[in-house]
Amino acid sequence: MDAAFSVEAWSAFAAGLEDEAAWREWANAPSLPSGEAMPALTEMAPMQRRRVERLGRAALQVAWRCQHDDDRNLPMVFASRHGDLDRTHRMLAELARDEPLSPTQFGLSTHNAIAAQYSIARVLQGNYLAVSAVRATPEAAVTEALGLLADGAPAVLVVVYDDAIPGDYHQFLDEPDALHAWAWRIAAPRDGLPRFSLHAGEPAESLVLPHSLEVLRFFLSGDAALPGTDGCGWRRHA
C-alpha cells in the first residue's frame, strides 16, 4: 500500500505537553511523558463529561480541537491498542471478589465507547470506527481513513490514544507506555501541506516511546521517514 495523504489539522495531549510549541520542542528531544495531568474538556457538558475517565478525556479533547462544529458528517476512526483497560481491570477485580458488575461501567469499557460518547456529545451524524492492531494501531487507523477517503469522504478524523496499563499486566509489556492522545484531520494530498505515505508492515520497536508516539514524533519532527521492518514505514514527501 502506498497511498498519500495530507494532515489538515492536528492536536495532541500528554502530561506536560499541552500546546503546539511544547509538542514541537518534544519532537526534537523526545522522552516518555509522565504525570497525572488530565484535560479539562470544558467543551463537553458536565453530566456527560463525568462518564469519561482520564483516557477518554484525552482522546475527546484532541478530537474536539480538530473537528469544526459544522462537521457533523465527518467520518472518524478512533484507535487504541488497549482501550480503557483501567476500567476493565477494575471490573475484573470486582468479578474476582464475586461482586456484581455495573452495566453502565461495562458499556463504557467497550472499545468503541469513547467514540460513542464523543458522537453523542457533539450530536454527530457521520460514521465512526474503533480499531486496535497491537503496535500497528496507528497504521491500522490511517489505513481505514485512506479507505474512507477513497470512498469519497472529503476528510477523516483519526484519533489515536492509550494510557499506561495497570500493574498486573506489566509483565506483558513489549513497549513503553504512558497516557497520550493525538488527532489528525486527514485529507487527500493538498498543495501547501506535506504529503505522507504509509507502507504496510511491522513497526520497528522503540526503547523510549510507544509506537503511537513515535508516529507523532515523526510527523512533528520534519524527518523524511520513520522506518519499520519488512519494508514498512512512513514517508514524508515535499
Question: pLDDT (tens digit, 9 = 90+) per residue, 100-148?
Answer: 888 888 777 888 899 999 999 999 999 999 999 999 999 999 999 999 9
pLDDT-derived band of residue 231, with 50, 70 and 90 as boundaries?
low
Is residue 145 within 8 Å of 127, Cβ to Cβ? Answer: no
Question: pLDDT (tens digit, 9 = 90+) per residue, 176-218?
Answer: 999 999 999 999 999 999 999 998 767 878 889 999 999 999 9
Computed over every residue of the chain, the mean pLDDT equals 91
Question: pLDDT (tens digit, 9 = 90+) per residue, 30-51?
Answer: 999 998 888 999 999 999 998 8
pLDDT of residue 1: 42
Among the CATH numbers 3.40.50.1000, 3.40.50.720, 3.40.47.10, 3.40.50.300, which is that of 4-237? 3.40.47.10
Predicted TM-score of the model (pTM):
0.93
pLDDT-derived band of residue 230, with 50, 70 and 90 as boundaries?
low
Averaged pLDDT, 152-170: 93
CA dist 222 and 237 (Å) reads 10
Provide, for the chain, the percentages of residues in helix, strand and coil under a 3-state DSSP scheme, each rounded to the nearest 5.
Answer: 35, 20, 40
Q: What is the largest CA-CA distance in the chain?
A: 59
Element (H, E) at 216: helix 211-221
CA dist 201 and 59 (Å) reads 26
Sign of the Cα torsion 106, 111, 113, 116 reads negative
Is residue 137 within 8 Å of 177, Cβ to Cβ? Answer: no
Averaged pLDDT, 60-83: 95
